[in-house]
């Protein structure tokens, strides 16, 4: 049906004009008012009245147009004048253009093709060969990272000696201006060296990523043509490295501390109860991320094997990592170092993920700052906010939830409405919605021991987290998505046996632990 064009005849005192308007009118009435005022030289004091009259005219004519259109359709249906086939074709076109399910099948992207190939190959006899290649690649990157750190340390030591010597000669042949110049030169040389070494390391990673993807696609193609898969010592097996690279010690000299752990099986739910495995342990949280690189063997670790098998599945593992209010900040520096030690073959590198998250969050934070929930520092995150990164090169984790914390966690006045507790609820909801069935969270909402963490402080904090998480897990039944099969509560490394035993005894009292019934 053609759209009618109505003439708007306006008479007010000595201002008379006529303008043609297409109904329904889809443009801005405010803008049309300004156009008419400029075109016909109407003074400003008439603007409000003109705007009201124009809006009323458009509304009345639109209602008349819609009424007439509906009546024509009804009459056409009564008289069998409607072409059902033509309407069907129009709807078919709209559905194909707007609904993904009915849209034209597009070609898969390179990442989708690689993901499909990897998932198929990793569940085949080629798994061992694939992991061997990944392990050899990681050895190369670790060696390069070790050389980088060594060169930077050597430069720092040289600069420190040079600066100390210059300060000692301050009253002799050195001036403050010369020392300031020396500081600037040291900073510039240090930044230049670090940038050069980082660039070299990134180049190696990109080359490995490209080679690995090409090799995997070649392996899949051979399997499809000859129905054979490479096994150790087959022609497609990667050539072994000439010598095993010495291991790199990344534990910062911390002595090995025995891991305390206890496991439980619980059932939660009001009617249909779900079974969950709960584990409480005391360990370094980075042990879940860092791959054991102290071995001289060229074989990959069992943790890497499990991570690879579950990478493209609906059985992912997640970890809640505490961070501060700036994305990619110093609080995650150790985690960044772990990620940089190996090549990420499947997802973007960590720094690229941080940059993308930062760019995306800036708009949301500025928008939320207009409400009372945000302060004027809209570029910073607040306690309870979290962002997610994806990984394939960590020991036991696929997804990291970086949750923002603050100094309020050190106090004792934390309740169930605290932003970080609510953030924990949102993390559990996100995990259920994205096939994350195993999740590790800090039981005390922090991973390091501090002075205020007395026995009573730890018991009070753990009781709060236990009860809140239990409520969230019961609530999960109405959220839909995947069930959280495995929940791991992590305590700071080095916590006393007394506190660990106390918290372990508390868990069965709060959760319903499954106990076998013995029939006599």
Which tens digit of pLDDT belongs to each residue from 155-199? 999 999 999 888 888 777 788 888 888 899 999 999 999 999 999
Q: Answer yes or no: are the C-beta atoms of 261 and 281 closer than 8 Å.
A: yes
Q: Answer yes or no: are the C-beta atoms of 340 and 109 closer than 8 Å.
A: no
Picking from 101-105, 317-321, 512-516, which range would have the lowest pLDDT averaged per residue? 512-516
Q: Answer yes or no: are the C-beta atoms of 326 and 380 closer than 8 Å.
A: yes
Q: Answer yes or no: are the C-beta atoms of 247 and 295 closer than 8 Å.
A: yes
Q: Is pLDDT at 485 greater than 80 in this prediction?
A: yes
Instruction: Give start and end residues of each alpha helix (H) in 449-491.
Output: 455-475
Count of the separate structural domains present in the chain: 3
Residue 96, pLDDT score: 79
Q: Which of 226, 241, 270 is the last residue of a domain?
A: 226
Residue 45, pLDDT score: 81
Q: Answer yes or no: are the C-beta atoms of 27 and 44 closer than 8 Å.
A: no
Residue 111 lies in a domain: no
Coil, strand, or helix at residue 400?
strand
Bridge partners, 490 (sequence order): 281, 442
Q: Which residues of 217-251 are buried (b: 16+ CB within 10 A; e: fewer)?
A: bebbeebeeeeebbeeeeeebbeeeeeebeeeebe
Q: Is pLDDT at 314 greater than 50 in this prediction?
A: yes
Q: Is pLDDT at 107 greater than 90 in this prediction?
A: no
Q: Answer yes or no: are the C-beta atoms of 437 and 482 closer than 8 Å.
A: yes
Locate the DSSP E strands across 23-161.
Answer: none
Token pair recorded at residue 265: 């099986």
The DSSP letter of residue 402 is: E
User: Are 97 and 163 found together in one domain?
Assistant: no
Residue 240 lies in a domain: no
User: Are 85 and 167 found together in one domain?
Assistant: no
Q: Answer yes or no: are the C-beta atoms of 273 and 250 closer than 8 Å.
A: no
Q: Answer yes or no: are the C-beta atoms of 12 and 36 closer than 8 Å.
A: no
**Helix (H) or strand (E) segment spanning residue 307:** helix 302-309
In tens, the pLDDT along 379-429 reads 678 899 999 999 999 989 999 999 999 888 888 888 999 999 999 999 999
User: Are 267 and 389 found together in one domain?
Assistant: yes
Residue 479 lies in a domain: yes
Residue 16, pLDDT score: 75
486/10: higher pLDDT: 486
Residue 152, pLDDT score: 92
Residue 353, pLDDT score: 92
Helix axes 455-475, 419-433, angle to 10 degrees: 40
| Sign of the torsion formed by the C-alpha atoms of 67, 68, 71 and 72 | negative
To the nearest whole number, what is the mean pLDDT of the chain? 81
Question: Which distant-in-sequence residues (6+ apart) come within 8 Å of 78 by Cβ?
Answer: none
User: Are 56 and 153 found together in one domain?
Assistant: no
User: Are 281 and 388 found together in one domain?
Assistant: yes
Residue 248 lies in a domain: no
Residue 106, pLDDT score: 67
Q: Answer yes or no: are the C-beta atoms of 336 and 350 closer than 8 Å.
A: yes
Q: How many whole angstroms separate alpha carbon 496 and alpha carbon 501?
A: 9
Q: How many whole angstroms separate alpha carbon 103 and alpha carbon 87?
A: 18
Q: Is pLDDT at 296 greater than 80 in this prediction?
A: no
Q: Let me know how long the chain is.
A: 520
User: Are 276 and 397 found together in one domain?
Assistant: yes
Helix axes 127-168, 302-309, angle to 10 degrees: 120
Q: Is pLDDT at 150 greater than 60 in this prediction?
A: yes
**Mean pLDDT across 491-496:** 89
Residue 233 lies in a domain: no
Residue 239, pLDDT score: 41
User: Are 68 and 94 found together in one domain?
Assistant: yes
Token pair recorded at residue 2: 């053609």
User: Are 94 and 120 found together in one domain?
Assistant: no
Q: What is the CATH number of the domain that holds 283?
A: 3.40.220.10
User: Are 195 and 325 found together in one domain?
Assistant: no
User: Are 97 and 120 found together in one domain?
Assistant: no
In tens, the pLDDT along 192-251 reads 999 999 999 999 999 999 999 999 998 888 887 776 665 544 434 444 333 322 333 334
Of residues 198, 286, 296, 293, the one with CA closest to residue 243: 296
Q: Which of 102, 128, 151 is the last residue of a domain?
A: 102
Domain that holds residue 161: 116-226
Residue 242, pLDDT score: 32
Q: How many whole angstroms separate alpha carbon 246 and alpha carbon 44?
A: 82
Residue 296 lies in a domain: no
Residue 199 lies in a domain: yes
Token pair recorded at residue 260: 């305390």
Residue 373, pLDDT score: 55
Question: Which distant-in-sequence residues (6+ apart) come within 8 Å of 353 by Cβ?
Answer: 347, 389, 390
Q: How many whole angstroms separate alpha carbon 464 and alpha carbon 506?
A: 11
Q: Answer yes or no: are the C-beta atoms of 124 and 231 closer than 8 Å.
A: no
Percent of the chain with pLDDT over 90: 28
**Mean pLDDT across 462-476:** 90
Q: How many whole angstroms separate alpha carbon 374 and alpha carbon 365?
A: 8
Give whichever of 83-87, 100-104, 227-231, 247-251 has the largest mean pLDDT: 83-87
Residue 460 lies in a domain: yes
Give whichever of 27-41, 280-294, 298-312, 425-439 has the largest mean pLDDT: 425-439
Give the Å distances, CA to CA, from 478 to 440, 473, 486. Answer: 22, 10, 18
Strands 5-12 and 15-22: antiparallel
Reported as a pLDDT band with limits 50, 70 and 90, residue 253 is: very low
Reported as a pLDDT band with limits 50, 70 and 90, residue 15 is: low
Reported as a pLDDT band with limits 50, 70 and 90, residue 518 is: low
Reported as a pLDDT band with limits 50, 70 and 90, residue 330 is: low
Q: Is pLDDT at 325 greater than 60 in this prediction?
A: yes
Q: Which of 226, 247, 276 is the last residue of a domain?
A: 226
User: Are 125 and 98 found together in one domain?
Assistant: no
User: Are 213 and 357 found together in one domain?
Assistant: no
């Amino acid at each position: 049906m053609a759209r009618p064009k109505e003439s708007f005849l306006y008479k007010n005192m000595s201002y008379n004009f006529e303008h043609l308007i297409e109904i329904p009118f889809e443009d801005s009435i405010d803008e049309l008012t300004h156009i008419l005022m400029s075109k016909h030289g109407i003074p400003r004091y008439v603007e409000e009245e003109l705007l009201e009259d124009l809006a009323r005219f458009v509304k009345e004519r639109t209602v008349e147009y819609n009424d007439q259109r509906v009546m024509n359709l009804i009459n056409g249906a009564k008289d069998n004048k409607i072409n059902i086939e033509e309407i069907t074709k129009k709807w078919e076109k709209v559905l194909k253009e707007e609904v993904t399910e009915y849209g034209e099948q597009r070609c898969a992207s390179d990442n989708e093709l690689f993901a499909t190939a990897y998932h198929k190959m990793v569940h085949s006899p080629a798994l061992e060969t694939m992991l061997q290649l990944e392990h050899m690649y990681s050895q190369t990157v670790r060696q390069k990272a070790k050389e980088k750190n060594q060169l930077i340390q050597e430069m720092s030591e040289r600069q420190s000696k040079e600066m100390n010597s210059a300060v000692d000669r301050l009253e002799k042949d050195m001036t403050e201006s010369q020392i300031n110049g020396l500081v600037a030169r040291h900073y510039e040389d240090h930044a230049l060296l670090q940038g050069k070494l980082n660039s070299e390391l990134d180049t190696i990673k990109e080359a490995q990523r490209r080679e690995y993807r090409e090799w995997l696609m070649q392996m899949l193609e051979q399997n499809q043509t000859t129905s054979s898969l490479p096994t150790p010592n087959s022609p497609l097996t990667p050539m072994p490295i000439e010598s095993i690279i010495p291991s790199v010690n990344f534990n910062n000299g911390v002595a090995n501390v025995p891991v305390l752990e206890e496991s439980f099986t619980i059932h939660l739910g009001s009617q249909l109860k779900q079974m969950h495995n709960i584990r409480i342990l005391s360990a370094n949280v980075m042990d879940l991320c860092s791959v054991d690189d102290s071995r001289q063997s060229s074989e990959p670790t069992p943790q890497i094997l499990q991570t690879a098998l579950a990478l493209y599945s609906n059985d992912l593992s997640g970890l809640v990592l505490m961070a501060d209010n700036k994305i990619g900040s110093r609080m995650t520096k150790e985690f960044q170092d772990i990620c940089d030690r190996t090549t990420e073959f499947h997802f973007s590198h960590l720094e690229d993920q941080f940059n993308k998250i930062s760019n995306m969050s800036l708009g949301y934070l500025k928008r939320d700052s207009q409400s009372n929930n945000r302060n004027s520092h809209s570029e910073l995150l607040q306690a309870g906010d979290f962002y997610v990164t994806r990984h394939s090169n960590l020991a036991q984790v696929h997804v990291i939830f970086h949750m923002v914390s603050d100094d309020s966690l050190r106090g004792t006045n934390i309740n169930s409405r605290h932003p970080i507790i609510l953030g924990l609820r949102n993390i559990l909801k996100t995990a259920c919605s994205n096939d994350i069935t195993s999740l590790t969270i800090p039981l005390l909402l922090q991973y390091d021991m501090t002075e205020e963490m007395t026995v009573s402080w730890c018991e009070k904090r753990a009781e709060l987290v236990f009860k809140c998480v239990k409520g969230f897990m019961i609530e999960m039944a109405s959220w839909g998505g995947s069930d959280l099969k495995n929940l791991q509560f992590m305590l700071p490394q080095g916590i006393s046996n007394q506190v660990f035993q106390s918290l372990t005894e508390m868990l069965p009292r709060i959760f319903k632990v499954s106990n076998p019934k013995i029939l006599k």
